[in-house]
Structures are given as structure tokens and as C-alpha cells.
Amino acid sequence: MTNISQNIKNLKDELPVDVTLVAVSKFHPVEALQEAYNEGQRIFGESRAQELVGKAKSLPKDIEWHFIGPLQTNKVKDIAPYISMIQSIDSEKLLKEVEKQAMRHERIIRVLLEIHIAREEAKHGFSADECKAILKNKNLDSMKHIQICGLMGMATNTDDMKQVEEEFHGLHNLFEELKDIEFKDHSSFTILSMGMSHDYREAVKEGTTMVRVGTNIFGEREY
């Protein structure tokens, strides 16, 4: 058993049964993804449209592709036929484009709203107040080809794990608040995606339902 297979097995043994593993496969070759697939992994995360499309055409059709990085509106049309979920919705403009392309392909695309929780300006996402405001926007009612399934967030890239836990805790609180108020009649709002290779254990402590792990599976990225 090679390292990738063993890493997948170890993670699945470690994670609670109600936490979904997204294997962050960006910048890694199809052979590495195939090895993870052979170990039973079916959800992969990519952050470049062209790379995702190429891999989707080359790899088994039952893979669920998640887009996890910043997404330009002009790239939505490229991934729309292949994508299972877009985790990085950070503007109403992007939501409208996803709706447009999903309608064009006669399908529903699942999305997560990205929330800015890190103390780093470079990170993307809505503030908590912006998120609440967009959910009250009546424009969403007309979007029948997207399904808002939850929230995604990235903590500050720091060795201060107490700070990381606090940021995850705040995101979990927002998730629960929205689930109880804005989405109380929507059974699809169930996903809280937080935690990566260096902080997924803290995310699990704070109630994540989905982790995005790359380095701990595939090793360092190949650029």
C-alpha cells in the first residue's frame, strides 16, 4: 500500500463518521487521484477550472468534484457540466452566474457560502452581516437551479491553535443560527466545511461536517 492509499485510510479511520473528507487534489496528477479513488475516495477538491475539467474528463464519472478556490464568473460556464458543489461563493454576482449556467445545463448546482473568518485580508468571503443580508435578498427566491447547502470558511494561517479554534467556533455559531432561522424549512442546509491539513482536528472539535485535506493525503503540491 502506497502513501496516498495509507493516508486516505488513516484519515477515514480518524475522522468521525459524520465528517466528510474532501481530498484536495489541485496541482496533483491524475495518477495520484486515481490511487485515492482506488482506496474509496470519491470527493475531490479543485481550484482551477481548466484543471478540474481536464481531470473530470480523464477520471471515473462517479467522482464528485468540488470547486474550493476563488472562482471568476467567466469560468463558471467551464465547470458547470462537471461540478457537484462550489464551496467558494463570495458574491451575489457569482451566485447569479452559477444559476445562469446551471439553468443552461438543466441541472441544480449545490453551493456553500464562503465566510471570511480569518484575520487576513487576503482571504475571500462574506462577513457574517453580509451573509445574512444576501439571504434576505428576494433575488434568491428566483434562483431555482442552485441549492445553498451550508457555509465554508478558512481560519487564519497561524500556529496559534486557540485563535483557529475561536474562528471555527464563530463560524459554527453562524451556521447554527442560519440553520435555525433562515433555513429552518430547508433540509439541504447541512454542510459546514472548515478545516484543512494543518487544522482539521481543531475544526472537528468545533463541529465541522466536512474537511478539505490535501497535503496530508498527497504530500506537497506539484507546481
> Could you identify the residue written with the cell 497535503?
215
Distance CA 50, CA 60 (A): 17
Other Cβ atoms within 10 Å of 177 Cβ, number: 13
Residue 32 has pLDDT above 90, yes or no: yes
Residue 222 has pLDDT above 70, yes or no: no
Residue 2 has pLDDT above 70, yes or no: no
Stretch 38-63: mean pLDDT: 97
Which residues contact residue 109 at a Cβ distance below 8 angstroms, ignoring those fewer than 6 apart? 80, 83, 85, 86, 98, 101, 102, 145, 146, 147
Distance CA 104, CA 76 (A): 11
- Domains delineated in the chain: 3-218 (3.20.20.10)
**If DSSP codes are grouped into helix, strand and coil, which group holds residue 190?**
coil
Say what the alpha-carbon torsion angle 124, 205, 149, 117 is, to the nearest 10 degrees: -20
Quick: pLDDT tens for 107-116.
999 999 999 9
Quick: pLDDT tens for 140-167.
888 999 999 999 999 999 999 999 999 9
Triad 187, 110, 123: Cα angle to 5°: 110
Give first-to-last CA distance, the chain, whole Å.
Answer: 25
Other Cβ atoms within 10 Å of 192 Cβ, number: 27
